[in-house]
Structure 1
Amino acid sequence: MTETPRVRVRRIYEEPSADDGTRVLVDRLWPRGVSRERAHLDAWEKEIAPSTELRTWYGHIPARFDEFAERYTAELADPQRAEILERLRGIAAAGTLTLLTATKDPDISEAAVLAGLLREHPDAAA
């Protein structure tokens, strides 16, 4: 039986924590007011972010989150995004992975969708 990976979702504006493990920014745009030094990133996987069209449509409107999650999950079948998702899956299998986002409510962000996929399907091929 495979152990559920430890995947966290945090805002990039929060101070890094000793238990963050590998810190990966999953937003397409660099967050305002955060220097690269202060971010303490291990990687910036901007290509896994939702398309501009989907992100614009969603607008972080809570009532649209379920449909956003479905549409974003479909976008993750794109070969480039699928490759990055597999890389994240490998990181999560090896230790704690913290997905970072600049959004005000990370519980309804692309990072939350990714974390859910990584927790629910730790061995799945994208």
Structure 2
Amino acid sequence: MSVRVRRVYDPPEPDDGVRVLVDRLWPRGVSRAAARVDEWPKGLTPSTGLRRWYHAGEGSYEEFARRYEAELAAPEAAQLLDGVRESVRRGPVTLLTSAKSPECSHTAVLVRLLEADRP
């Protein structure tokens, strides 16, 4: 099974599998029909406070990732993460984000956690 990350602005591809939007806010300029999002677990995204802290440049990516992982350990987020893990076990999953640099955003943390659980 595979987990991949794509920008939500990119057109859907046949091999995307389950398309999961992992941003708290709906991306500007993208219709729901064009995005073809299958799941949108808002509780899986970084809190507003953490997101603002990181985007304000107050800390390193490593500190952001550590704080985000702590948020993901909370019961609601952990349950949502388990749901995405189950989707990954069944087939390909594409995490969708509007982040310009997904490799240094919360999506990279999610991919690392999801891939660590794969057999």
TM normalised by structure 2 equals 0.93
Note if 1:18 corresponds to 2:18.
no
Contact (CA 8 Å) 1:60, 1:109: kept in 2 or not? no
Which protein has the bigger helix share? 2
Aligned-partner Cα distance in 2 for 1:58–1:27 = 15
Residue in 1 that maps onto 2:97: 101
RMSD of the TM alignment (CA)? 1.5
Task: Using the aligned pairs only, state the percent identity.
Answer: 52
Secondary structure in 2 aligned to 1:92?
helix
Residues 47-69 of structure 1, C-alpha deviations (whole Å, 9 max, x = no match): 110011100011185x7211111
Unaligned runs of 5+ in 2: none
Instruction: Find the residue that maps to 1:119 and give its secondary structure.
Output: helix
Distance 1:88 1:72, change over 3 A: same
Could you tell me which amino acid in structure 1 is paired with residue 99 of structure 2? T
- Where does structure 1 differ by over 2 angstroms across 4 or more consecutive aligned residues? none
Pairing partner for 1:85 from 75, 78, 81 = 81
Give the count of matched residue pairs. 118
